[in-house]
């Protein structure tokens, strides 16, 4: 191969200009510019190559050949999404034993997506009605938002009874979080600062930053115990300036699976109450954590009924139906704010509409209609309760099986208790980045580099394989 450095062609230079980090499969620039393993980050995703870093090292471009500049010359190639990137890499792998423990979407014991039976029935009912497709109002389908509010806050909820809750349908949980972030940025009369648990769902930070809020953290996960750092959490809440906005995962914390106990929730409530903080709940797993939607709503309902938080209305909620009714791609959710009184709820609702209209005008019907049909039809509601329990139970049994294999079949000397004490779809295994890399390269087991696994990706057919793989990459730990 001719190793003389060649002058870059115009096309190659253009690639250099744009700062492209294109996937090798789609990059049309050949030659030395297409190959570089310079960046350590790329080791986790071997299909990505850095055109720029090679060009920077090997090219001495005498004068950049400039084509007529695009309006977008300053637009750099965005990084791949870390969570969704796992699935990309998984798909590209041909190993028959491969496992995808990346995205948190439920899978049945055959590893397949599960469309709930109550959903199929609701869809048939809807199809038979031949409904029209007229626009929903800005805040969405009223039968849906009412039922969703009752599910979250409880049928006996005082704040609902007193009409203190302003609610809008949203584009699933993400849309709800964004509406909340934007609303607080616009109307919260104190510092526009939100505190997230450390760690939190990866998308929380971009959502709140793009909303204009400053993002800070409070201690949450204790690496030494793989459990909750309650002392650190309470200390950080007390240290935060008065009237800060605090994001709380209502149940089944993502990514750690570590939830406070009811007693710990009461202490958290006291700290937030006492400092005049504002509580922003994110509830994406109601029903999914314990199998019982009522139980999973304990924290939210406690906050909505106790202390000045409830009394003054310092509470809002982002609610998702992606996982618990399996409607991921239909984007069904709500955002609600508890106001000081009914009059405030009306004012707040009017401003939510003003905020939402320039975002997307009004929300999509299909998913909301499905959820409304399920929740408002007694037999379907009962069937849903059974199915969500079934999903939660399968998760719980996979946790038990994984732990059991690790401890009893492979005699791992490490402490794997957290696998069964953690709750919900995710488990923070405690695996180190290097161990995660080995799981991928040696065993074709794909997960995010923070060591988070989606239990939903485990089935009775592969749980032992996973245990073996996890044991092998950890047994030589000092």
Partner 1 sequence: MTLDTTHFDAVPLAPPDVIFHLTASYKADTHAQKVNVGVGAYRDDNGHPWVLPVVRKAEQLIVNNHALDHEYLPIEGLASFTSAASRLILGKDSPALNENRAIAVQTISGTGAVRLGADFLARFRGTQTKVLLSNPTWANHKAIFNDAGFKDVADYAYYHPATRGLDLEGMLRDLRAAPEGSIVVLHACAHNPTGVDPTPAQWNTIADVMIAKKHFAFFDCAYQGFASGDLDRDATAVRYFATRTELFVAQSFAKNFGLYNERTGALTVVTKSPETAQAVKSQLAKLSRAAISNPPAFGARIVSTVLNDAALYAEWVENLKTMSGRIQLMRTKLFDALQKLGTPGSWQHILDQIGMFTFTGLNAAQSQAMGTKFHIYMTNNGRISMAGLTSSNVEYFAKSLDWIVRNVQ
Residue 206 or 461: the one with the smaller Cβ distance to partner 1 is: 206
Residue 409 annotated as catalytic? no
Residue 353 or 464: the one with the smaller Cβ distance to partner 1 is: 353
Q: Which residues make beta-bridge pairs with 221?
A: 228
CB of 225 to partner 1, least distance (A): 32
Residue 282 annotated as catalytic? yes
Give every CB contact of residue 352 below 8 A, 6+ residues apart in sequence. Answer: 138, 139, 166, 168, 179, 183, 335, 337
Residue 323 or 471: the one with the smaller Cβ distance to partner 1 is: 323
Residue 70 or 441: the one with the smaller Cβ distance to partner 1 is: 70
Residue 178 or 394: the one with the smaller Cβ distance to partner 1 is: 178
CB of 202 to partner 1, least distance (A): 10
CB of 149 to partner 1, least distance (A): 18
CB of 160 to partner 1, least distance (A): 18
Residue 295 or 360: the one with the smaller Cβ distance to partner 1 is: 360
CB of 274 to partner 1, least distance (A): 8
Residue 329 or 461: the one with the smaller Cβ distance to partner 1 is: 329
* Residue tagged active-site, from 236, 265, 323, 384: 323
In terms of Cα–Cα distance, which of 327, 195, 197 is closest to 252? 197
* Residue tagged active-site, from 236, 259, 282, 296: 282
CB of 200 to partner 1, least distance (A): 14
Residue 260 or 313: the one with the smaller Cβ distance to partner 1 is: 313
Three-state SS across the chain?
A: CCCCCCCCCHHHHHHHHHCCCCECCCCCCCHHHHCCCCCHHHHHCCCECCHHHHHHHHCCCCCCCCCCCCCCCCCCCCCCCHHHHHHHHHHHCCCCCCEECCCCCCECCCCCECCCHHHHHHHHHHHHHCCCCCCCCCCCCHHHHHHHHHHHHCCCCHHHHCCCEEEEEEEHHHHHHHHHHHHHHHHCCCCCEEEEEECCCCCHHHHHHHCCCEEEEEECEECCCCEECHHHHHHHHHHCCCCCEEEEECCCCCCCCCCCCHHHHHHHHHHHHHCCCEEEEEECCCCCCCCCHHHHCHHHHHHCCCHHHHHHCCEEEEEECCCCCCCHHHCEEEEEEECCCHHHHHHHHHHHHHHHHHHHCCCCHHHHHHHHHHHHCHHHHHHHHHHHHHHHHHHHHHHHHHHHHHHHHCCCCCCCCHHHHCCCCEEECCCCHHHHHHHHHHHCEECCCCCEEEHHHCCCCCHHHHHHHHHHHHCCCC
Residue 201 annotated as catalytic? yes
- Using CA atoms, how far residue 333 sits from 195, 314, 329, in Å, is 22, 21, 11
CB of 79 to partner 1, least distance (A): 8
CB of 354 to partner 1, least distance (A): 5
Task: Tell me which residues are annotated as active site.
Answer: 201, 282, 323
């Amino acid at each position: 191969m001719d190793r003389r450095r060649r002058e870059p062609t115009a096309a190659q230079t253009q690639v250099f200009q744009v700062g492209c980090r294109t996937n090798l499969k789609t990059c049309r620039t050949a030659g030395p510019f297409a190959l570089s393993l310079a960046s350590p980050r790329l080791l986790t995703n071997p299909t990505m190559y850095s055109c720029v870093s090679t060009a920077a090292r090997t090219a001495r471009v005498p004068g950049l050949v400039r084509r007529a500049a695009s309006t977008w010359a300053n637009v750099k190639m965005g990084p791949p999404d870390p969570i969704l990137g796992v699935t990309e890499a998984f798909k590209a792998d041909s190993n028959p034993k491969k496992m995808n423990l990346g995205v948190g979407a439920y899978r049945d014991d055959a590893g397949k997506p599960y469309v709930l039976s109550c959903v199929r029935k609701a869809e048939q009912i809807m199809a038979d009605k031949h409904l029209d497709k007229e626009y929903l109002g800005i805040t969405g389908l009223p039968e849906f938002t009412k039922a969703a509010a009752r599910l979250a806050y409880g049928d006996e909820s005082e704040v609902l009874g007193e009409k203190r809750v302003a609610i809008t349908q949203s584009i699933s949980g993400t849309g709800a979080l964004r509406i909340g972030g934007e609303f607080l940025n616009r109307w919260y009369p104190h510092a526009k600062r939100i505190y997230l648990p450390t760690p939190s769902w990866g998308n929380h930070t971009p959502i709140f930053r793009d909303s204009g809020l400053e993002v800070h953290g409070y201690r949450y996960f204790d690496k030494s115990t793989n459990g909750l750092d309650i002392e650190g959490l309470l200390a950080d809440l007390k240290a935060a300036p008065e009237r800060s906005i605090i994001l709380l995962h209502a149940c089944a914390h993502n990514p750690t699976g570590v939830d406070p106990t009811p007693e710990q929730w009461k202490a958290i409530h006291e700290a937030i109450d006492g400092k005049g903080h504002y509580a922003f709940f994110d509830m994406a797993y109601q029903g999914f954590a314990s199998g019982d939607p009522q139980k999973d709503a304990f924290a939210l309902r406690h906050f909505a009924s106790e202390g000045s938080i409830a009394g003054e209305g310092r509470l809002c909620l982002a609610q998702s139906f992606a996982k618990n009714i399996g409607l991921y791609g239909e984007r069904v959710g709500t955002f609600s704010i508890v106001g000081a009184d009914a009059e405030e709820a009306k004012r707040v609702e009017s401003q939510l509409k003003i905020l939402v209209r320039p975002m997307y005008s009004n929300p999509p019907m299909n998913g909301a209609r499905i959820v409304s049909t399920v929740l408002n039809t007694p037999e379907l509601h009962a069937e849903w309760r059974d199915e969500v329990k079934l999903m939660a139970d399968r998760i719980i049994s996979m946790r038990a099986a994984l732990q059991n294999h690790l401890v009893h079949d492979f005699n791992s000397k490490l402490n794997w208790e957290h696998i069964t004490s953690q709750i919900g779809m995710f488990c923070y295994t405690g695996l180190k980045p290097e161990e995660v890399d080995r799981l991928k390269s040696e065993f074709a087991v794909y997960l995010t580099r923070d060591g988070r696994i989606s239990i939903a990706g485990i089935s009775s057919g592969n749980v032992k394989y996973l245990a073996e793989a996890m044991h092998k990459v950890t047994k030589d730990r000092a």
